[in-house]
Amino acid sequence: MITFYNDRHVLHHGKVEMFRGELVPCFEIPARADHVLRELQARGLGAVQAPPDFPDRALARVHSQRYLEFLAGAWDEWVALDPANAQRDALPSYWPIRTFRSDVLPASFPARMGLFSFDAGTPLTSGTWAAARSGACCALGAARAVAGGARAAFALTRPPGHHAGADFFGGYCFLNNAALAAQALRDAGAERVAVLDIDYHHGNGTQAIFYERADVYFASLHGDPHTEYPYYLGYADERGSGAGLGFNRNLPLARGTGFPEWREALAQALRSIASFGAQALVVSLGLDTFAGDPISGFRLKGHDFLRIGEDLAAARLPTVFVFEGGYAVAELGVNAVNVLEGFQQRAA
């Protein structure tokens, strides 16, 4: 399995995030990807290479132009407000919620930052745009490889992507790598593509991007949003709308869920994807379902991730894996590569 690795991910290294009323060190750190890369290399699971470059118009297939322009220039604008800002991350503090307008682009940078975000836990840093853009190229490169005949490919990158919408960031995410991969597979000729999100946290951004479309099926199993982030999306009654009605499936699970119940939800999602008639699959590979994850609540063990890989391979679809969450950093490499190894063994 070929891996597209984003060595520029280290440029995005937030200092602090807002977590339950206080500024704390970021959970989403460069060591996450480093552990996965070392484990991949230790097991010799396939070639690791840098991503090809793609033009910005490829990003605009999923994201709005004004949002992309904001991200590309945000750091320079932040520092221009106050040279001292070069030493601290940018975090939003205003949001245009109900009754406020979002169609007008404010001149104020803090106002625009709030317009394009949904939480205060996602620091924007000097290297965020470079890291996120290179990561998007990893996802697009993996999609190109799979569209070209590869059985599977892995986009190993951070920051993650599945919480990012067409025109907003949050949940540590800026560009939606899984959505970009799915759109690239569609553009390459796959008539029906499925995105399966197995992160502990619902992929609200991916759902929103495809919610009114019938050509991309979104399925997610995740912590129940009654109690779990991102709270405001991910309920079982969200089935799509307009042309997309019936092409969205959420399987929320209670905190404390163990592997047997979780695996049954995975089986339900895979059956739905099979019924949809998907010709290619994108997996938002979150590993924060692990029992030791510090900000999640499922009880999966390391060996369970091998079984997950096997179950995904049994779907017999060309598959793009996109690295998402997982914050038990020391165990993250083993858990991620267990999924890929299980997949590869079953697909052989």
Catalytically annotated residues: 163
- 289 to each of 30, 225, 276, how far by Cα in Å? 19, 15, 26
Contact 282, 194 (CB under 8 A): yes
Question: In this structure, how many other beta carbons lie within 10 angstroms of the beta carbon of residue 326?
Answer: 27
Q: How far apart are CA 31 and CA 89, in angstroms?
A: 19
Exposed, middle or buried, 290 (CB in 10 Å: 0-12/13-18/19+)? Answer: buried
The identity of residue 346, as a single letter, is R
Q: Is 49 helix (H, G, I), strand (E, B) or coil?
A: strand
Rounded Cα distance between 2 and 24, Å, is 36
Q: ω before 230 within 30° of 0 (cis)?
A: yes
What are the distances in angstroms from CA 208 to CA 241, 248, 312, 326?
A: 10, 10, 24, 22
* Alpha carbons 83 and 151: distance in angstroms, whole number: 49
Q: How many beta carbons lie within 10 A of that of residue 256, not counting itself?
A: 11
162, 195 contact by CB (below 8 A): no
